[in-house]
Amino acid sequence: MINSEKNRLKDKAFQYFGLGCTILGLLVLAVFLGDIIMKGIGRIDWDFLTSFPSMRAKKAGILSAWVGTLWMLGLTAFISIPIGIGAGIYFEEYAKKSRLANLLEINLANLAGVPSIIYGLLGLEIFVRSMGMGTSLLAGACTLALLILPIIIVSTREALRAVPNSIRQASYGMGANTWQTIWHQVLPASMGGILTGIILSLSRAIGETAPLIVTGALAYVAFVPSGPMDQYTVMPMQIFNWISRPQQDFQVNAAAGIIILLCITFLLNGIAVFLRNRWQKKVKW
């Protein structure tokens, strides 16, 4: 066999190998989702959604967990969105090319890579102990807000950067100042991108378990939280609790809980993708 034929054969071989790897990755995803649906789908009914957890697996439900997750989602969004967008605007529109800006940049890159459980330790000392919030929803939400802040900031910056400079210059040319330009021109034009980032970061937040374990989310909650200072549990926490029990019936509960958690996660991701596509189509510079 001559050399070029050999090379072509190797090329083809790698093509199939690459295809194989890709299919394997997707296959794992399929097996994974299929397995969980088979285990859990039979367990989901109205009672499961409206019952509190119980020592008897068949009677247990996820009411306190999903209500807790909704509370957590709302509070986290309320805290992180204004700060995240504000910081993003500052980074992109004001703090350009200074030593401070450079420092902020390095800091941000590092924060994004800090493991979530470390945020849990931060929340435990600062929010739970020093600020006296105790093991409340608010303490958990503050911790998660700090955790997703880098994601919101980065996506806000990318969205702002996509707005062409000609828009800004036109606005300045009409006599607008920096803030007016940002508020009336740049922000509306980049809203799609910013929203996408926020939704993705929130979908990350509702799946987080580790920082909430550290800041004191409870494993067994037989009441619905009525305010931000109440104790709570969230869906991943409840799932973790069920997984850790040896009885088969609790594993079924865990699978059912996972189906609902995944539905929420995929729904949020779907909205984000939809927004991104719509926004990309609508805006053409």
Partner 1 sequence: MKRVLMICAIITVLTTVGIVYVLFSESYTFFQTVPLSDFLTDTEWTPLFTDKHYGILPLLTGTLLTTAIAMCIAVPMGITIAIYLSEYAPKRVRSIVKPLLEILASIPTVVYGFFALTVVTPFLQQIIPDLSGFNALSAGLVMGIMIMPMVSSLSEDALYAVPKSLREGAYGMGSTRLQTSFRVILPAASSGIIVSVILAFARAVGETMIVAVAAGQQPILTGDPRSSVETITTYIVQVSSGDVQHGSLEYNTIFAAGITLFIFTFILNSVSFYIKKRFQEKYD
Residues 128-147 that bind partner 1 (CB under 8 A): 129, 146
Q: Measured from the CB atom, is 62 or 226 closer to partner 1?
A: 62
Q: Which residue has the tokens 């397995």?
A: 35
Of the candidate spans 44-52, 54-62, 64-72, 110-118, the one that interacts with partner 1 by CB under 8 A turns out to be 110-118
Residue of the chain from 122, 137, 199, 260 that contacts partner 1 (CB under 8 A): 122
Q: How far is the CB of 258 from partner 1 (least distance, A)?
A: 5
Of the candidate spans 56-64, 66-74, 148-156, 162-170, the one that interacts with partner 1 by CB under 8 A turns out to be 148-156
**Contacts with partner 1, 213-242, as mask; x by CB under 8 A:** xx-x--x----------------x--xx--
Of the candidate spans 60-68, 70-78, 123-131, 165-173, the one that interacts with partner 1 by CB under 8 A turns out to be 123-131
Of 72-91, binders to partner 1 (CB under 8 A) are 82-87, 89-91
**Contacts with partner 1, 244-283, as mask; x by CB under 8 A:** x------x--xx--x--xx--xx--x---x----------
Q: Mind giving me the DSSP string for the chain?
A: --HHHHHHHHHHHHHHHHHHHHHHHHHHHHHHHHHHHHHHGGG-SHHHHH----SSGGG---HHHHHHHHHHHHHHHHHHHHHHHHHHHIIIII--SSHHHHHHHHHHHHHHTS-HHHHHHHHIIIIIIIT---S-HHHHHHHHHHHHHHHHHHHHHHHHHTS-HHHHHHHHHTT--HHHHIIIIIHHHHHHHHHHHHHHHHHHHHH--HHHHHTT--S---S---STTS----HHHHHHHHHTS-SHHHHHHHHHHHHHHHHHHHHHHHHHHHHHHHHHHH---
User: What whole-number distance in Å separates Cα of residue 153 and Cα of residue 93?
Assistant: 13
Q: How far is the CB of 75 from partner 1 (least distance, A)?
A: 17
Residue of the chain from 25, 42, 164, 188 that contacts partner 1 (CB under 8 A): 25
41 binds partner 1 (CB under 8 A): no
Q: Measured from the CB atom, is 191 or 210 closer to partner 1?
A: 210
Residue of the chain from 59, 78, 114, 166 that contacts partner 1 (CB under 8 A): 114
Q: Measured from the CB atom, is 158 or 227 closer to partner 1?
A: 158
Q: How far is the CB of 236 from partner 1 (least distance, A)?
A: 5
Q: 76, exposed or middle or buried, with CB in 10 Å at 0-12, 13-18, 19+?
A: buried
User: What whole-number distance in Å separates Cα of residue 262 and Cα of residue 204?
Assistant: 11
Of 154-213, binders to partner 1 (CB under 8 A) are 178-179, 203-204, 206-210, 213
27 binds partner 1 (CB under 8 A): no
Residue of the chain from 17, 78, 223, 274 that contacts partner 1 (CB under 8 A): 17
